[in-house]
Amino acid sequence: MQKRTVGNHSYTDFIFIGFPGFSEYKPYIYIPFFLMFLVAVVGNSVIIFVIKTQTSLHSPMYFLIFAIAIMDLSLPIIFVPNMFLNLVLNLNGISLDGCLVQMFFVHLISSFESTILLVMALDRYVAICNPLRYNDYMNSSTFYKLSVAFLIRNGLLVSLIIILASTLSFCFSNLIEHFYCDHMALVGLACGETTKNSIMGLLTIFFIPGIDLLCICYSYINIFCAVLKSASGKARQKAVHTCGTHLIVILVSYLLALCSYLAYRIRNSMSPDVHILISLLYLLFPCCFNPIIYGVRTKEIREHILKMVKGKKIDPENIKVASITR
């Protein structure tokens, strides 16, 4: 099963060996990840259903929550089923083409996590700092232009990563120490020069989550400056409550991203099992955490879910749009 060689042959089929130090416990390891996958699928499906079916939630803020729920539902579906096949049935093979396709969608979808958080920050910035012009700035035309621009940016950078990876010769090994085709995990198997791949990876990190984070920080600095100047304590409290949910999601997402990045930088002094765990949590934990935090802290979504569970008819007139409370 395990093949290692150095020569002129380039592998076109690869084998996942996630958690190599716990191979005898594989049938049990899938249980916590299956529970996280279940929470992600059910939680995000509920958020999507509630926002789509309730006209009172058809506003820019809820459109963004809807978008992030779509991302959080799609991402685990791409790689978690293969992970279960690996852990439970020991079906751990994948072709190079399949690996590159999986890598493209995993990195493209995960890149939109920070992008949507950026648009959420811009939405709150306009709503709090320039509320009289909110409808002029945050409308369907604006969202369409932003969507096209970010799709081009993220899609182009991720495509360049995949194209560069596809030109490599993988003659060192065909064993991927992971459960999905991660860019650096695959590039690490190449026997040729990989400097351009590393540079492209760093540029992608800078131009997507890096630039997004700078813009998010700028938006929230201006938001809190405007809040502190507000004479109304009630307005100040409402703004803090409104931004609190987004800040929690941003903090969790970027903290896990930082841990995953540092894990690659110091992977030689870290066991493969710990590194794999950090990478999996970076992708999977926000997918099951976000629907919980939005469902609990967003008053309108929470009330709709509770009424749906109780089987009550929801009256949109009883719910005020765009108010988030603890």
Amino acid letter, 117: L
Q: How far is CA 148 from the centre of its chain?
A: 19
Q: What is the DSSP string of 66-88?
A: HHHHHHHHHHHHHHHHHHHHHHH
When comparing pLDDT for 6 and 232, which is higher? 232
What is the spatial distance between Cα 265 and Cα 50, in angstroms, rounded to a whole number? 41
pLDDT in tens, 294-308: 988 888 898 988 888
The neighbouring-strand residues paired with 4 are 173
The neighbouring-strand residues paired with 176 are 16
Burial class (CB in 10 A: 0-12, 13-18, 19+), 3: exposed
Mean pLDDT over residues 40-69, rounded?
93
Structural tokens at position 102:
């999986």
What is the spatial distance between Cα 276 and Cα 273, in angstroms, rounded to a whole number? 5
Longest dimension (CA), the chain: 72
Residue 1 three-state SS: coil
Per-residue confidence at 232, pLDDT binned at 50, 70, 90? low
Structural tokens at position 87:
């852990």
The DSSP symbol for 131 reads: G
Contacts of 314 (CB under 8 A, 6+ apart): 54, 303, 304, 307, 308
Yes or no: say if 64 and 249 are a contact pair by the CB < 8 Å rule.
no
Residue 90: its pLDDT value, please?
85
For the chain, what is the mean pLDDT?
87
Residue 233: its pLDDT value, please?
67
Which among 111, 125, 138 is positioned nearest to 211, based on CA atoms? 111
Per-residue confidence at 224, pLDDT binned at 50, 70, 90? confident
Which among 121, 134, 126 is positioned nearest to 64, based on CA atoms? 121
- Name the residue with tokens 């009630």: 234
Angle of helix 96-129 relative to helix 211-229, nearest 10 degrees, comes to 20
Which among 272, 139, 115, 199 is positioned nearest to 183, based on CA atoms? 199
Structural tokens at position 319:
């719910």
User: Residue 298, CB half-sphere, CA atoms under 13 Å: how many?
Assistant: 25
pLDDT in tens, 259-288: 888 887 777 778 889 989 999 999 999 999
Contacts of 123 (CB under 8 A, 6+ apart): 60, 61, 64, 138
When comparing pLDDT for 134 and 4, which is higher? 134
Residue 223 three-state SS: helix
Yes or no: say if 76 and 28 are a contact pair by the CB < 8 Å rule.
no
Contacts of 267 (CB under 8 A, 6+ apart): 275
Phi, psi of 94 (to 5 degrees): -155, 145
Confidence check: pLDDT of 158 > 50: yes
Burial class (CB in 10 A: 0-12, 13-18, 19+), 25: exposed
Confidence check: pLDDT of 289 > 80: yes
Residue 325: its pLDDT value, please?
37
Any idea which of 25-29, 122-126, 234-238, 285-289 has the lowest mean pLDDT? 234-238
Residue 235: its pLDDT value, please?
65
